[in-house]
Amino acid sequence: MEITANKDLIDSIIREKMLITLGAGMIPIPMVDILAVSAIQIAMVRQISRAFGIDYKESDGKALITALTGASFARLGGSLVKAIPGIGTFFGGLTTSVLSAASTYAVGEVFKKHFETGGTFLDFDLASLKKYYDEKFEKGKDVASKMKKDKADKSASESESKTSDMNPDLAARLHEYEQLRKAKVITNEEFIHLKDRIIQEK
């Protein structure tokens, strides 16, 4: 028996948690980022369960999420890179951020599909849903990357509007970085990192 729920509501829950996960993945302390992402995914599954009217037990939700995502190996590599001072923190954060958001997307899609088909926590077919998770994880990488780019573009636009009251030298540097970003000499993430450093100097 299929169970209906507000599709827009479910999708908005998944998108909201992806955005939060993008930020959590940038936490500079190794392993703490993974714990934060896990907590976000647990909260997401709780919300999705309630939207479908499914009884939620945190122990069940946590166990199924762990089973789906494994031991967080997809995110672990990026997290441990953060232990390298300086550049490791920056690039490790970028890697972990996108992979964590992709994982959040995949977890959300799995539980959405399962509940839509009348499933509960008691009849979770881990084998087939793990395959579905893997498929959605790959798609989630693209979704997360686009989300991150849109966020960077918005940040860049806001930065341009703030340069009027900025020190002329700093404003010139920010404009120069923005031109490099547009020319794809530096990535959106590198631009945000450089922009944040300039704002700290303001």
Three-class secondary structure of residue 174 per DSSP: helix
Q: What is the pLDDT of residue 70?
A: 76
- CA 61 to each of CA 32, 46, 50, 122: distance values in angstroms, whole numbers, following the listed order: 20, 8, 12, 11
* Better pLDDT: 171 or 100: 100
Between CA 200 and CA 20 the distance in angstroms is 23
The per-residue pLDDT of the chain, averaged, comes to 76
Q: What is the pLDDT of residue 87?
A: 39
Between CA 4 and CA 51 the distance in angstroms is 9
pLDDT in tens, 47-86: 999 999 999 988 889 999 989 887 444 444 444 444 444 4
Between CA 177 and CA 45 the distance in angstroms is 40
Query: What is the pTM assigned to this prediction?
Result: 0.66
Percent helix, strand and coil across the chain, each to the nearest 5: 80, 0, 20
Instruction: Note whether 149 and 159 are within 8 A (CB).
Output: no
- pLDDT above 70 covers a percentage of the chain that reads 66
Q: What is the pLDDT of residue 159?
A: 56
Of the candidate ranges 67-76, 110-119, 148-157, 171-180, the one whose mean pLDDT is the lowest: 67-76
Helix, strand counts (H, E) of the chain: 8, 0
Nearest alpha-carbon partner for 117 in 128, 106, 103: 128
